[in-house]
Every structure is written in structure tokens, then in C-alpha cells.
Amino acid sequence: MKKLRIVALIIMVALIATIMVGCNENEQGIEFDEARAIVKDLMDKAKEINRIHYGEGLEHLDIESKNAYIEISPSEKYKSLEEIKAFTRSVLSQSYANELIESTFEGRYSAGGEVVTQARYIELSGAILVLQDIEAYEGIYYYDLDTVSIKETTLDRIEATITTIDGNIKNVVCVLESNGWRLNSTTY
């Protein structure tokens, strides 16, 4: 009888230990601290995405030209459109990046083939040119990275909120792709 009690006690302790270890694991997704660090990093990089694609654009030479496009400043870190595209793909999900790259580097056209928006950047003879009459998107947000709050995580998705510097709360979605975590929501 004593042996039976000892065996039952050992089994019960083992079950309790297993339950306790299982409760400490986040089976629903990655840990919130890790998720917060991922969102903060991507949102910090999104500032550059917004500048390039939606904002004032790459700095250009301060010369008068009758052409629609003008060469970017040699002080810009990007030396080709491929470098800009690679950076965009390193921050945004594949589908979002592809859509933005098409719009930024090819422009948008109506079903009838009429130009809706011109390409913001073109490359000519190895030089990046930017559209002179670029208009920054009016609704660009600037974020307080310290306000990132994780709503939910899974193993391949993070849903969070972040507060803009003017107090608006924006939802942010990040997805895990084969090449790492990427933003899958607008940041402007």
C-alpha cells in the first residue's frame, strides 16, 4: 500500500510540473516583449519608407530644370532603384512591398492606359531621378515608438497599436515571411 501511495504521489507531482511548465509557455504566439521589439524596429524603419514613398522623397539637386525629373543628391545613401526596392522589401510584406514598388517606380495607370500618377523615381544612365513636382502625402504620421502595445500574437502574426505624436492610435500588423518579420499595414 505504501508503494502505491509513493507511485501515485510521484505521478501527481509529475503531472503538476508538466501543467505548470505548459502554462508558462506562450503556445499562442511569440512573447510580447519579443513582439514589441519587432514592431518597434519595423516602425522605426518605416519612417524611411514613408519619406521615400509618401513624403518629401529623396533629396535632389537644387538646380533649375525644364525636365519633369531631376537627379537626386549624391549625399543620398541610395545609389540605385534596386537598393531602394531591396530596402522596401526588407521592411514590408511581399504583397505590400510589390504594390508600393510598382506605384513608386512605374506609376499608376487607368484601365484606359491614362496616367493616374507618374513614377516618383526613374533611373537613367545609372543615376536616380526624382519627379520634381512631388507632393508629399498629407496624412503622414510620426510615431512614438515607446507607445507600441501588443494586442495579439501568433507564431506568424503580430497585431499591435502605436500612438502617433499627435495622439492618434494606429493599428499595426506584422507577418512572418520566409525572410523574416515584415509590416503588413500602412504606416503613413
Query: Which stretches of the chain drop beneath a pLDDT of 70?
Result: 1-28, 139
Structure confidence by residue, pLDDT tens digits, 113-126? 888 888 999 999 99
* Side-chain half-sphere CA neighbours of 141 within 13 A: 20
pLDDT at 114: 87
Closest CA to 85 of 116, 128, 145: 128
pLDDT at 3: 58
pLDDT at 11: 55
Domain boundaries, the chain: 32-183
Q: Which helix (H) or strand (E) holds 182?
A: strand 180-183
CATH topology of domain 32-183: Nuclear Transport Factor 2; Chain: A, (3.10.450)
